Every structure is written in C-alpha cells, then in structure tokens.
C-alpha cells in the first residue's frame, strides 16, 4: 500500500533518454492526451535501465509490452530486477535511462493522472497496527482525493469481502497474519475500479489455500477486464494464472510473450513407458533420438522430428512392449532452462 503521494513528486520534466542519448522512442511527437487504446500496450517500457547509487545495475535496457486485458506474469529469480522495474513503472523511483508508459502516458510525469487508475500492491502493505482492517481501508480511502466519501463504507465492505477478510474486518491489523496483511493490501488496491493492477509477489506469505484464493481473485479481476501485472518467482504460479509472461534474469529480459508460446519454445520430452526399457532405449538411439535416458519403466529423450507412429512401429517391430508413448508438454520451467541454460532458483 504505497502512498500515492510518494509517486507524485515533480519529475525533472526532461524527456527520458535512451543510454545512447537518443530521445525517447515510444510516443515521440504524440500528444500526451492520446487514449491508451491507440498504444500497443497498457505498460510499455523502452530501454528501461536502473543503476543504483552504489553502482548496481538492477535493470538493464528493458523493452516490455503488456497487452491490454492480459494477466501478465513478471518472472525471475530473487534479485533479477522485478521490484526495481515495478517501482519505476509506478513512478516511485526514476529510471537511469529509458522510458515508461503506463495506460498510454509517460511515467513518472503523468503519475497524477495515471495512478488513480492503477491499483498497486508493492513490497507488502503499510498498515496501522492499532487500527482494524476495516479502519485501515477507510483511512486509506479517505487519503485518496479521487475517492467518493459517500460510497466509502460500501466500497470498503465490498473490498474486504472480495479478499475474504469480511469476518476479520474488526480485528486489529497487528493481529493479522502475513497472509491476512497481504490480503488487506490487495483490498486497498481494489477500493476503486482499476484499469490496471500491479501486484508485487501477491502470494508471498500465503499458505497454499490462500495462494489458490488469490489466483482465483486475479482470474476474476481479469475476466472483468482489468489488466493484471504480477511479479513472481514461482514458475508454476505464472503458468496457472497468467496469459502472458516475461522472464527476467540479472536485470535483463530473457523472453516475453503468451505463456503457451513460451512453453512451446522448449521442445518437451518424449516419454516411452515399457517393461523393456533397455531395448526401448537402444531402439530410440538407433532412430536418432537424442538424450535417451532409461529410469525404471520410463525411457525419455528429445522429441524426434519423425512421426511418433513410426517410432512406435519401430519399437514394436523390435519386440518392445509399449505401454505408453507420448510427448510431454514443456513447462515454463523447461523453457526457462532452455533459454538461460540455468535452473530456476525458487528459494525464498
Ligand atoms: N535500493 C537499492 N540500492 C542498491 N541496490 C539495490 C537496491 N534495491 C535493489 N538493489 C539490487 O538490485 C538488484 C535487483 O533487485 P530487485 O529487488 O529489483 O530484484 P527482484 O527481482 O525484485 O528480487 P526479489 O524477488 O528478491 O525481490 C539486486 O541485486 C539488488 O540487490
């Protein structure tokens, strides 16, 4: 629950520059009042770069395009630059170079008009422990000049209900679990209808049941037409809830696109189930299948170019009893490993 006021400080007014000193590429010559719909994405960054004062290059030349209506997963191991990027998207910190457009407007310059249309949950909500969950939200909403005080109580009740906190609404926030605090932060982001939700690790600190509930909520919000941008270091979470994803590693964008396409980019795995594993492995090698490994009654390898029917026929012709033969779809994790040559650090 970042205070919007921190994002509303006056920027220097100068157009952001790409590292080579070229003027900002996105929206050159376009008037600021252009509707977002004429833009390619709800979030568009070009050459976005952040070097911290200590010299740490946290984000390096990021070109991100988040399509309208997507649930966009921003994925990367700890320290890959996700939070730094999100803070730049929300105008909380200045980029060292490059540009950010959110809802078609440049950030941080247009923060005052953009941020009321964006619900954000970044780095855990700031809560008053001595106030109840409900009173925290009433207070938060009262600090928003665009919020209608006449509908405040009803909106707060609806938001608490939506995140499953209605029963705990009167409890002091300091007695909330981490998961409950996370939900309260989400409720704060949902007090008004939003065109975009930006959620930094929204399931952090939640138990599996809480994670499922947040995923369901994200899907419902997306079905209502809200674009959701969420960061995560959990690959399966992104696969379960996101339509699109971008993968970060060491401050750089590795890949972005529809989740189905990203996973399809990795080749998947040929799996033969058979009691004659040794013979099956030999035949597959003879057929030119790469990386053949036998483990119990399971023989795996790279999916061959040739028709699977031919592979099955060759196995059977050699007396291999085939119980099953299939190509397992590649997961996003396979895609990540294929793209970076690294495992995905899911610790933390
Ligand atoms: N305020 C700061 N000053 C200096 N370096 C920072 C600062 N904030 C982050 N960094 C460094 O920048 C890099 C990217 O950090 P960032 O928090 O953006 O990554 P992240 O992908 O969000 O990681 P996590 O999942 O752990 O939050 C890291 O090496 C981090 O140590």
Question: CA 332, CA 235: separation in Å to the nearest integer?
Answer: 7
pLDDT band at 343 (very low <50, low <70, confident <90, very high): low
Q: What is the pLDDT of residue 10?
A: 34
Paired with 216 in beta bridges are none
Q: How far apart are alpha carbons 183 and 48 in whole angstroms?
A: 30
Least confident segment among 145-159, 174-188, 204-218: 204-218
Residue pair 87/93 in contact by the 8 Å Cβ criterion: yes
Is residue 35 scored above 60 in pLDDT? no
Q: DSSP letters of 228-292?
A: EEEEES-HHHHHHH-SEEEEEETTEEEEEEEHHHHHHHS--EEEEE-S-HHHHHHHHHHTT-SS-
Q: What angle do CA 212, 216, 222 make, to 5 degrees?
A: 145
Q: Which atom of ligand 1 is nearest to the CA of 83?
A: 22
Atom of ligand 1 nearest to the CA of 57: 12
Mean pLDDT of 94-111: 94
pLDDT for 347 equals 34
The CA 346 to ligand 1 mean position distance, Å, reads 16
pTM of the model: 0.73
Residue 81 CA to ligand 1 centre (angstroms): 6
What CATH number does domain 43-256 carry, 3.40.50.300, 3.40.190.10, 3.40.50.880, 3.30.70.240? 3.40.50.300
Indicate the top mutation candidate among 52, 75, 200 to test ligand 1's pocket, ranked by most ligand atoms within 8 A of CB: 52
pLDDT at 313: 94
169: number of Cβ within 10 Å: 18
Top CATH class of 266-340 equals alpha beta
CA atoms within 13 A of residue 239's CA, in its CB half-sphere: 15
Domain locations in the chain as residue ranges = 43-256, 266-340
Kindly provide the ipTM of the predicted complex, given to two decimals: 0.95
At residue 291, what are phi and psi to the nearest 5 degrees? 55, 45
How does strand 293-295 pair with strand 57-66?
Answer: unpaired
pLDDT of residue 132: 96
Query: How do beta strands 227-232 and 196-200 pair?
Result: parallel
């Amino acid at each position: 629950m970042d205070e919007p006021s921190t994002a509303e400080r006056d920027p220097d007014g100068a157009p952001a520059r790409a590292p080579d000193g070229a003027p900002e590429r996105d929206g050159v010559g376009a008037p600021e009042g252009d509707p977002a719909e004429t833009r390619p994405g709800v979030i568009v960054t070009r050459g976005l770069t952040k070097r911290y004062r200590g010299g740490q290059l946290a984000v390096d030349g990021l070109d991100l395009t988040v399509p309208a209506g997507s649930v966009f997963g921003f994925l990367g191991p700890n320290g890959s630059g996700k939070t730094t990027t999100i803070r730049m998207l929300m105008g909380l910190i200045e980029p060292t170079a490059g540009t950010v457009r959110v809802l078609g407007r440049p950030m941080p310059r247009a923060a005052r008009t953009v941020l009321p249309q964006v619900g954000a949950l970044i780095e855990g909500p700031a809560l008053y422990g001595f106030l109840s969950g409900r009173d925290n939200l009433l207070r938060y909403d009262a600090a928003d000049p665009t919020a209608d005080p006449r509908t405040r109580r009803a909106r707060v009740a609806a938001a608490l209900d939506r995140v499953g906190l209605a029963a705990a609404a009167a409890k002091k926030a300091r007695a909330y679990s981490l998961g409950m605090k996370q939900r309260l932060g989400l409720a704060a982001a949902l007090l008004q209808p939003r065109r975009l939700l930006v959620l930094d690790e929204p399931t952090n600190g939640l138990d599996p049941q809480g994670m499922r509930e947040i995923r369901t909520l994200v899907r419902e919000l997306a079905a209502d037409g809200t674009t959701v941008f969420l960061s995560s270091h959990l690959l399966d979470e992104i696969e379960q809830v996101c339509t699109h994803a971008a993968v970060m590693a060491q401050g750089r964008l590795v890949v972005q696109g529809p989740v189905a396409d990203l996973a399809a980019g990795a080749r998947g795995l040929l799996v033969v189930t058979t009691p004659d594993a040794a013979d099956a492995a030999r035949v597959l090698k003879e057929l030119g299948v790469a990386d053949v490994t036998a483990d119990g009654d399971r023989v795996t390898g790279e999916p061959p170019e040739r028709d699977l029917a031919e592979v099955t026929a060759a196995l059977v012709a050699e007396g291999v009893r085939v119980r099953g033969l299939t190509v397992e779809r590649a997961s996003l994790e396979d895609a990540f490993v294929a793209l970076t040559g690294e495992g995905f650090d899911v610790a933390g």
